[in-house]
Amino acid sequence: MQRILSTALPAHIGETVRLAGWVHRRRSLKSVAFLILRDAAGLAQVVVSEQAARARLEELPEETTVRVVGTVTANPSAPGGVEVTSPVIEALGDPAEPPPFDLYRPDLNVSLPVLLDHAPVALRHPKLAAVHRVGAAAVAGFRTALEEMSFVEIHTPKIVGTATESGANVFELDYFGRPAYLAQSPQLYKQIMVGVFERVYEVGPVFRAEPSDTARHLASYTSLDAEMGFVDDHRDVVAACHATVGGMLAAIRDLAGPSLDLLGVTMPALPREPLVVHFSDVLEMIGTATGQDVSAEPDLAPAHERWLGEWALREHGSDFVFVEGYPTAHRAFYTHPDPARPGYSRAIDLIFRGLELVSGGQRLHRYGDYVRALTARGESDLSAYAGYLDAMRHGMPPHGGFAFGLERFLARLLDVPNIRQVTLFPRDLHRLSP
Ligand code: AMO
């Protein structure tokens, strides 16, 4: 007999079926006992009436893996309107000890450090599992949206010879006796690959030796990257990024509906056309609104981003707002300056509910510009960039791209204050296991 999932039970009323999963909860009443079985799809109520079977159920601690063969019976008062009766329950293992907390409670009321210490078990809680189902749907949507726009998926090295974003926060490692680094982003490789495919994307881990202990930084996170050739300017990048966000939200609605319901998620408002404001206008608005002199700020501080998020929602009904034109000196060397506004660039960020979610923009594409930009930033030995500069030397189109942090996306979408709450096994200053 083939196994079915708990959610398929209503289609099998009157039939004998086989289920498998975990003992989520046992409840014993006077004349009957209940086994709540948890599988990948959800929960199923199994009713045990026979005396000997009830005694055997008593012996199965929570989280025992079991196989159940029984009859599907309609019962309007059972969860989902069905239950499994006259079951034969077979234990598939014998847990060494019960879980450190009650996974059957609607919420795991434990502190974040306890939860993270016990992540391998805590993640089985339906609400925590739901977080990562939403994450999986978001990534599926990212891929689909970009495939529909003719982007090609690539996989670039995670052990590299050059720091990409800044020299400061790289993890160095010993590579057969030579220094090497864990990739901070696929930036240089995704640009090189524009020379091959014009449009590329990558989903993969990146590594940042972040010395700061904040609620929005991890030492390793999942970067959703895209890069595209033959752009007119950064506004083409904004348009592609906006369409990608739309695709991610649609996929989440389509693929993760039950998880959204379980978590009580309010889906964000994404306007039809992207909302874009210039960096200098943001500073001016903040100055006017708060009375602070922020006119010389080189970047947006977290408090400025929060202010902007509130403004976008209040004034434009949008949970997303693009900022364009960040000062060139504060962005990476590959950033394209804005020819019309000295000092400002064609770099963009996307702020989602008051948090920077995406960085990107138009890049330099002429070899000579790269040599000048790297030299101006004190890079005396350009040989470290030889492969990258090779692509630039042999003809690159005007291009640009963007990168999302998946965990930041989930944190804002699910409205949790700390990015670690939506990260499977977070890595930070203090945590290297589990
Ligand atoms: P950036 O360094 O801004 O840009 O990173 C892009 C996005 O990644 C997320 N992010 C992080 N998430 C968790 N922990 C961190 N330590 C962390 N650092 C960054 C943020 C951020 O917006 N190469 C460029 C992208 C590009 O220009 O295409 C880059 O990596 O959501």
Pick from 118-127, 157-166, 217-226: least confident: 157-166
Residue 60 pLDDT > 70, yes or no? Answer: yes
Q: Is the peptide bond before 417 cis (omega within 30 degrees of 0)?
A: no
Same domain, 164 and 78: no
Pocket probe for ligand 1: among 221, 330, 362, the residue whose CB has the most ligand atoms within 8 Å is 221
37: domain CATH number is 2.40.50.140
Same domain, 214 and 154: yes
Residue 115 pLDDT > 90, yes or no? Answer: yes
Same domain, 277 and 360: yes
Q: How many domains does the chain have?
A: 2
pLDDT classification of 203: cutoffs 50, 70, 90: very high
In tens, the pLDDT along 321-368 reads 999 999 999 999 999 999 999 999 999 999 999 999 999 999 999 999
What spacing in Å lies between the alpha carbon of 212 and ligand 1's midpoint?
15
Q: Which domain holds residue 14?
A: 6-91
The whole-number pLDDT of residue 125 equals 97
Q: In this structure, is residue 112 part of a structural domain?
A: no
The whole-number pLDDT of residue 168 equals 74
Residues flanking ligand 1, CB < 6 Å: 165, 185, 187, 208, 210, 217-218, 221, 223, 356-360, 401-405, 407-408
Question: What is the residue type of 116?
Answer: L
Q: In this structure, is residue 109 part of a structural domain?
A: no
141: domain CATH number is 3.30.930.10
State percent of the chain over pLDDT 90.
95
Same domain, 155 and 267: yes
- Report the half-sphere exposure of 281 (CA within 13 A, side-chain side): 9
Same domain, 335 and 382: yes
Q: In this structure, is residue 407 part of a structural domain?
A: yes
Same domain, 200 and 78: no
Is 38 annotated as catalytic? no
What spacing in Å lies between the alpha carbon of 151 and ligand 1's midpoint?
20
Residue 384 pLDDT > 90, yes or no? Answer: no
Nearest CA to ligand 1 atom 3: 359
Same domain, 253 and 306: yes
In tens, the pLDDT along 235-280 reads 999 999 999 999 999 999 999 999 999 999 999 999 999 999 999 9
ipTM of the complex: 0.99
- Report the half-sphere exposure of 396 (CA within 13 A, side-chain side): 29
In tens, the pLDDT along 76-113 reads 999 889 999 999 999 999 999 989 999 999 999 999 99
Same domain, 87 and 217: no
Same domain, 31 and 76: yes
Q: In this structure, is residue 384 part of a structural domain?
A: yes
Is 18 annotated as catalytic? no
pTM value is 0.97
Q: Are 411 and 268 in contact (CB under 8 A)?
A: no
Question: What is the residue type of 266?
Answer: T
Known binding residues for ATP are 208-210, 216-218, 356, 405-408
Q: Give CA–CA dist 75/182, Å, rounded.
A: 56
Handedness of CA 248, 253, 255, 259 (dihedral sign): positive
Mean pLDDT in the chain? Answer: 96
